[in-house]
Amino acid sequence: MEIKRVGVVGCGLMGSGIAEVCARSGYEVLVREVNSALLQKGLDRINKSLAKAVSRGKMSQEEADQATARMQGTLDLADFGDCDLVVEAAIENMAIKKEIFAELDSVLPAHAILASNTSSLCVTEMASVTRRGDKVLGIHFFNPVPVMPLIEFVRTILTSDETMEIAHEFGASLGKTMVTAKDTPGFIVNRLLMPYILDAVHIYENGLASKEDIDTAIHLGLNHPMGPLTLLDFVGLDTCLFIADAMYEEYKDARYAAPPLLRRMVLAGHLGRKSGKGFYDYS
Ligand code: 3HC
């Protein structure tokens, strides 16, 4: 099967990055948001990112214009009828994802592949509301999508070999390196990342070191691009708390238990860069 047209559900931080990377790789892209203000915000983010790529000499103005021309927005999932592959990057809420999967299953052509960009939810549960379990998988991108070179594939016990082959061809066409994990909470990256991030909050909460020293220690001592608390601000405290809670819910393992400070910062609206304040101030 040849993938020509890609659908992306959600045009937030991840959805807009996925739509941009697909359009830059030559696919026709249809992206859906729940209202026109959010759709416009997402498309503006993509155009800004393309303009930045042009200004940094990563692509020509003509290539950026072609990528823009390949992208269309919609508010209606019914418009996805001629998509060969859809990546769902909507809010991390299982009930909403199941609604989207059920609707897409009735709209998409029989050959189409249905993927979720979820970072922690059960892909098998999403597949269970479709009649194409063999064509459902997780395609987990990393933030910022245009920069991060990895895709994590999540294979359920229903996903067919053929679907995995097509997904690999698709990932390669986006210029990404791919790894595959079983459908278990956190997959590979978040299974390892979350205990590390949560531990950083624990040691800060317990007064072992200042936040700056924790970050500098990891940034310069291990050569990570960002220390753990800066990374938490970057990914979003609410997102990390959601992932940790989902992992704790399934494993009941203390390694995934969110520290009290993280939960309270989220309740206080200190979500990181997106809200202007997290462990650091971005106002
Ligand atoms: N979109 C497009 N390009 C971007 C970008 C964005 N949002 N942010 C940065 N870039 C590009 C810049 O244009 C620049 O490109 P160039 O070097 O070719 O000119 C390059 O990335 C480096 O950017 P900067 O010089 O501005 O800044 P840094 O060197 O500090 O890099 C960073 C920024 C790439 C974000 C780097 O700090 C980094 O890699 N941080 C770690 C990110 C990370 O760990 N992401 C994974 C999060 S976990 C996740 O997503 C999973 C989820 O389930 C939680």
- Domains of the chain plus CATH, in order, are 5-182 (3.40.50.720), 191-274 (1.10.1040.10)
- Report the nearest-CA residue for atom 51 of ligand 1: 142
**Residue 1: per-residue pLDDT:** 79
C-alpha span between 166 and 281 (Å, rounded): 43
141 C-alpha vs ligand 1 centroid, how far in Å?
13
227 C-alpha vs ligand 1 centroid, how far in Å?
13
Residues in CB range of 184: below 8 A, 6 or more apart = 191, 250
Given a cut of 50, the residues of the chain with pLDDT beneath it are none
State which H helix or E strand residue 71 sits in: strand 71-74
Q: How far is CA 19 from CA 63, 79, 104, 185, in A?
A: 15, 16, 18, 25
- 268 close to 278: Cβ distance less than 8 angstroms: no
225 C-alpha vs ligand 1 centroid, how far in Å?
9
**Residue 130: per-residue pLDDT:** 98
Ligand 1 nearest atom to the CA of residue 119, by list position: 53
Probe target for ligand 1 pocket from 147, 189, 218, with the most ligand atoms within 8 Å of CB: 147
**Residue 230: per-residue pLDDT:** 98
> Pairing mode, if any, of strands 113-116 and 136-140?
parallel
Q: Is the CB of 143 under 6 A from ligand 1?
A: yes
Q: Is the CB of 190 under 6 A from ligand 1?
A: yes
- Report the nearest-CA residue for atom 11 of ligand 1: 147
Indicate which residues carry an active-site annotation.
119, 140, 152, 190
1 C-alpha vs ligand 1 centroid, how far in Å?
33
Ligand 1 nearest atom to the CA of residue 140, by list position: 53
Q: Is the CB of 252 under 6 A from ligand 1?
A: no
Q: For tokens 């498309």, what's the residue?
A: 43
Q: Is the CB of 148 under 6 A from ligand 1?
A: yes
Q: Measured between alpha carbons, how far apart are the two ends of the chain, in Å?
A: 48
**Residue 24: per-residue pLDDT:** 97
252 C-alpha vs ligand 1 centroid, how far in Å?
33
Q: Is the CB of 231 under 6 A from ligand 1?
A: yes
Give the predicted TM-score (pTM) of the model. Answer: 0.95
